[in-house]
Structure 1
Amino acid sequence: MVSWAITGATRGIGLGFVDNLSVDPKNQVFAIIRSRGTAGPLEELAAKRKNIQIVVTDISDPRKLDQAAAEVSKVTVGSLDVLILNAGSAEPETSTLPPSAFRGKEEALEKEINENVKANLISNIYVINSFLDLVRNGKEKKIVFISSPSGDVEFNRVTGISTVLGYSVSKAGMNIVTTKFGAELAQDGIKTLSLSPGWVNTDAAQAVTGAPDIRKFMLNAFRKIDQSVNEPISVDESVTHQLQVIQSLTEANSGKFVTHHGNVDWF
């Protein structure tokens, strides 16, 4: 049996991972979430598939994460094969501003950067450190960070997207952190990967690009990368491709940042 732990598993890509993986009864799937209050679809899925276990924690609290890891450890007898870091957010409301718009808004700038770094970088370091001993004892020994093209320099340069400053900084920063964990843990046989899921049709994506004018702007930007882009892909398609990349992760490509195609084809 292969054990998987996925953070941010109540909806979107995280729930997609849980759904896809739990189809195989040989997988033990731990859905790590913040609250059961918003986990209706996950609860329904877990009721039907006994290889899903819901673990409630706060990824910003190392002590609670240690408790979550201990909960997983009881089931797996001290091991975890694959840790997928999917939880994250794009906050706060100033994400629509380009860098120069923060002149005279220093407090807003600090909040824009700090809130995103806390949610998308520091919390993920906490998660890795709490679950690291379990991963060391696993068979697969893989840690995967679900990143974004927003954290890639060349993607931003070519598309000309100047907004979501804090989100982009935090994703780029966590890409580096993931690489550094890979460098540190290579001696233990642990592989790490930053993975872009593509442009995916999730509730979170719709909240950002759902308005017609924003959708038009984003499409025009994305088509500077790939002229064939028309719409986001489904969660199932994204997760299926991502799992293929995760399954092919070896020491040779540990620490890289790739797309759901296993290369730099963002769409």
Structure 2
Amino acid sequence: MVSWAVTGATRGIGFGYIDNLSADPNNQVFALIRSLSTAGPLQELAGKRKNVHIVVTDLYDIKKLGEAAAKVSKATGGSLDVLILNAGSAGPHTNVLPPTAFIGKEEALEKEINENMKNNILSPMFVINSFLELVRKGQEKKIIFISSPSGDLEFTRITGIPSVVGYSAGKAGMNIIMTKFGAELAPEGIKTLSMSPGWVATDAAEQVTGEPEVRKYMLNAFHKIDPTVTGPTPVAEAVASQLKTIRGLTAENSGKSVGRFGNNDWF
């Protein structure tokens, strides 16, 4: 049985991972979530599939993360095969602003950067370090960070998108940290990967790109990368391609930052 732990699993891509993985009874799936109050669909799925385990924790609290790791350890016999760091946040409402819009708004800029560093760098690092001993004893030994093309220099340069400053910096920062984890842990056979899911049809994406004018702007930007893009990919399809890449992760491509197909195809 292969054990998987996924953060941010109540909706969107995270829930898509739980749904896909738990369809195979040979998988043991742990959904690490912040609260049961928004976990209705997840609880319903767990009621139908006994290989789904819901673990409520706080991704910023080392003590609670340790308790979560202990619960997973008890269920698996002390190991974890794959850790997927999906939880993240675009930060405060100032994420729509380009860099120069923060002139004279230094407090807003500090909040924009600090919240994203906490959500997209510190939290994933806390989770990795809390679950590392379990991954060390797993068979697959894989740690996956769900990133974003917003954190890629060439993607940003070509598309010309100047907003989501803190979010982009957070994702880019965690990308390099994942490479450093990979470099450090390679002698132990542990593999890491930063992977962008692309433009996926989640509730969060709809909130950002749902307005017709915003959608038109994003499509025009994305067409500079891929002229065939017509809209977001369904969650199930995006997750299936990501899982194929995760399963194909080897020591040779550990530490890379890629799209969901395992290359630089962001969509």
TM-score (norm 1): 1.00
**Per-residue Cα deviation, 1:102-135 (whole angstroms, up to 9, x for no partner):** 0000000000000011011100000000000000
Between the aligned partners of 1:57 and 1:224, the Cα distance in structure 2 is 40
Corresponding residue for residue 97 of structure 2:
97
Question: How far off is 1:261 after superposition?
Answer: 1.0
Corresponding residue for residue 256 of structure 2:
256
Corresponding residue for residue 168 of structure 1:
168
Structure 1 vs Structure 2 CA RMSD: 0.4
Corresponding residue for residue 128 of structure 1:
128
**Per-residue Cα deviation, 1:132-151 (whole angstroms, up to 9, x for no partner):** 00000000000000000000
Between the aligned partners of 1:6 and 1:170, the Cα distance in structure 2 is 19
Between the aligned partners of 2:58 and 2:174, the Cα distance in structure 1 is 19
Indicate yes or no: 2:222 matched with 1:222: yes
Corresponding residue for residue 14 of structure 2:
14
Q: Partner letter of residue 135 of structure 1?
A: V
Corresponding residue for residue 39 of structure 1:
39
Q: Partner letter of residue 70 of structure 1?
A: A
Between the aligned partners of 2:260 and 2:171, the Cα distance in structure 1 is 16
Indicate yes or no: 2:200 matched with 1:200: yes
Corresponding residue for residue 83 of structure 2:
83
Q: Partner letter of residue 166 of structure 2?
A: G
Corresponding residue for residue 231 of structure 2:
231
Q: Structure 1 regions of 5+ residues with no counterpart?
A: none
**Per-residue Cα deviation, 1:7-43 (whole angstroms, up to 9, x for no partner):** 0000000000000000000000000000000000000
- Following TM superposition, the consecutive aligned residue runs of length 4 or more in structure 1 with deviations greater than 3 angstroms are none
Corresponding residue for residue 71 of structure 1:
71
Between the aligned partners of 2:112 and 2:213, the Cα distance in structure 1 is 23
Between the aligned partners of 2:188 and 2:226, the Cα distance in structure 1 is 39
Q: Partner letter of residue 66 of structure 2?
A: D
Question: How far off is 1:198 after superposition?
Answer: 1.1
Question: How far off is 1:91 after superposition?
Answer: 1.0
Indicate yes or no: 2:140 matched with 1:140: yes
Corresponding residue for residue 153 of structure 2:
153
Q: Partner letter of residue 224 of structure 1?
A: K
SS in 1 for 2:206: helix
Q: What pairs with 1:20-35 in structure 2 (closer than 5 Å)? A: 20-35=20-35
SS in 1 for 2:110: helix
Q: Partner letter of residue 26 of structure 1?
A: N
Between the aligned partners of 2:123 and 2:198, the Cα distance in structure 1 is 23
Between the aligned partners of 2:147 and 2:96, the Cα distance in structure 1 is 19
Residue correspondences, number = 267
Q: Partner letter of residue 147 of structure 2?
A: S
